[in-house]
Amino acid sequence: MNVCSSENYSSKRSLMVQSDIIMGKLPEEASQALVNEVFPIMKNDDIAEIACHDSLIINLGNQWMMRNRGNEIMRKYYTSSVMRLAAKLKQATQKLSNTTLEMSKYLAPKYFEVVTKAALVCCHAEDEEDLKAPSNALKLGHDIKRMVDAKLAKAIIQEDNDEQKEAQDFLRLMSMQWGLRVTKLARCVLIERSFNQVKELPLPDDVKKLSMHLQKELSGVDLEDCTFCNFRKIAILTLTRITLFNRRRCHEVQALRGIQMS
């Protein structure tokens, strides 16, 4: 497909979001930025369905969009990742508790044990000593607190004493037990892996060879060719060249205006 003729193209996910807006299915809590930027790029699966229709997860997404207000290019990806992880937590909690409640209801003292186990499930844990993705536990610890804070703020505004007490007690439980039962375990796994990780540096001759190849390819590109394939080739070569020259992380270079890839 020619990149110049694809301006009006909408993905399946975008069309579904537009349909939900027309039918009034999206919660009112969703900000315009969340609806326009984040929802359309999410992978179309059951996790996205949970993330886009749970009020508390949407509130978390709004928070992340505001926290990354100055990073217009990458914020939708960060927010989507956070919301999907929170949705996975909700899905795991539902399976473990055999219930189908909203996320807000699970952030109560009686479900603390289940939420703790669900967080470890989100780490792809076969058992508590073998976490495949321990960083998920660390991320969830922070984002759960943000969701509980949002629940508490809403309860205070609505003068709902029961909801206030639930949120406050859940936060107390997290401060007393989450660190030992989840955070400590995740950090130990990460530290152990860092000790055993082998970091191999590229040979200088290989770096030189790659640099020369990139310069040769870039000198031969046709800037008059406006096809998508040629645009993609030039974008990849440019990003690779800048990354190699500056020794920067890929996402930092990708966020530069004018060379981000579609």
| Residue-wise pLDDT tens digits, 116-151 | 999 999 987 666 667 788 899 999 999 999 999 999
- Helix 75-97 crosses helix 134-158 at what angle (to 10 degrees)? 90
| 3-class DSSP state of 127 | strand
Residue-wise pLDDT for 192-230, tens only, equals: 888 877 777 778 888 888 888 888 888 888 888 888 888
Asked if residue 18 lies in contact with residue 67, where contact means CB atoms within 8 angstroms, the answer is: no
Residue-wise pLDDT for 158-198, tens only, equals: 999 999 999 999 999 999 999 999 999 899 888 888 887 77
Contacts of 6 (CB under 8 A, 6+ apart): 228
Domain boundaries, the chain: 11-196, 204-254
Asked whether the whole model's pTM tops 0.75, one would answer no
Residue 11 backbone class (left: φ over 0; alpha: ψ -120 to 50; beta: rest): beta
Residues recorded for the chain: 262
